[in-house]
Amino acid sequence: MKKTLVAIAAIGLTQVSLAQDSDAEIAKYRAALQDGNPAELWELKGEALWKTKRGSKNVSLETCDLGKGPGKLEGAYAELPRYFADAGKVMDLEARLVYCMETIQGWDTKPYFNKGAFKGKGPGSDMAAIATFIAAKSNGKPFKVDLEHPAVKAAYKTGEELFWRRSGPFDFSCATCHSTDKTRIRLQGLPNLLNKEGAATGVSTWPAYRVSQGEVRTLQHRMWDCYWQMRHPDVQYTSDAVTGLLTYLAGLGNGNEIKSPYIKR
């Protein structure tokens, strides 16, 4: 029995050591790519897509209002999600882009309401590029989502309830992995989103280039992927549920500096 306990303790120490080594190597890799982040390619593509005439109306997205006025991008991402009177609802960046594609460009957005937006199939594969281009215009600025607006308050409350709601075959919630310090899964460190440091890591650094996937991912994708890993049904792209979660997370991240596009494992 004593030998067994010693063996278990040794395995535990080995896992901790491997995890720390992994974190250190990721930090080195991130620093090495800091001046050559592959996400810059997505950013350039996003800028081209923003300016390209597309859709049935053959116009660009340059008149899309992200909250600062038509076509104004500086600092817009830092204040999203927000309430948009023309749509009558709270929207995050990608939800607003889909709205603009529908109303300004005349797109059929059905391909965006499935995994096509995440898996690189169809026109949905463009969304990460456009989102990266726009988010980069807020790089270095603090998140300042207006949580006093009644509609935003309601979305925040919905997101908070979803964050803590346990369900699914594993009885998991977002909080299962992201409400305590020094939590890991598969040796990967998980940020505690309830404290300032964790929120800075987990909220303010998207969109980000995922080294393990060779792709840029957005917060919409992060929500879908988390739900998939919890073995929940797929969340619908730009759904009110996802917007609520992103409003709650942005609220937790308020005041933190945006670092996007970032580099992640």
Domain positions in the chain are 1-32, 33-264
Q: How far from 172 is each of 2, 14, 42, 145, 245, CA to CA, in Å?
A: 34, 27, 33, 28, 15
Main-chain phi, psi angles of 259, to 5 degrees: -125, 85
Q: How far from 36 is each of 150, 192, 265, CA to CA, in Å?
A: 42, 29, 16
pLDDT band at 118 (very low <50, low <70, confident <90, very high): low
- Fold entry, domain 33-264: Cytochrome Bc1 Complex; Chain D, domain 2 (1.10.760)
CA–CA gap between residue 61 and residue 53 (Å, rounded)? 8
- Contact (CB, 8 A) for 146 and 80: no
Per-residue pLDDT for 13 more than 70? no
127-175 tens-digit pLDDT:
999 999 999 999 999 999 999 999 999 999 999 999 999 988 889 898 9
CA–CA gap between residue 265 and residue 244 (Å, rounded)? 26
203-231 tens-digit pLDDT:
899 999 988 888 899 999 989 888 888 88
The average confidence (pLDDT) of the chain is: 85
Query: Does residue 107 sit in helix, strand or coil?
Result: coil
pLDDT band at 188 (very low <50, low <70, confident <90, very high): confident
Burial zone of 2 (CB within 10 Å; 0-12 exposed, 13-18 middle, 19+ buried): exposed
- Contact (CB, 8 A) for 260 and 139: yes
Q: How far from 28 is each of 21, 33, 140, CA to CA, in Å?
A: 11, 9, 22
Catalytic residue among 64, 100, 174, 226: 226
Is 226 noted as a catalytic residue in this protein?
yes
Q: What is the pLDDT of residue 115?
A: 56
Per-residue pLDDT for 88 more than 90? yes
CA–CA gap between residue 105 and residue 56 (Å, rounded)? 6
- C-alpha neighbours within 13 Å on the C-beta side of residue 173: 13
CA–CA gap between residue 235 and residue 6 (Å, rounded)? 44
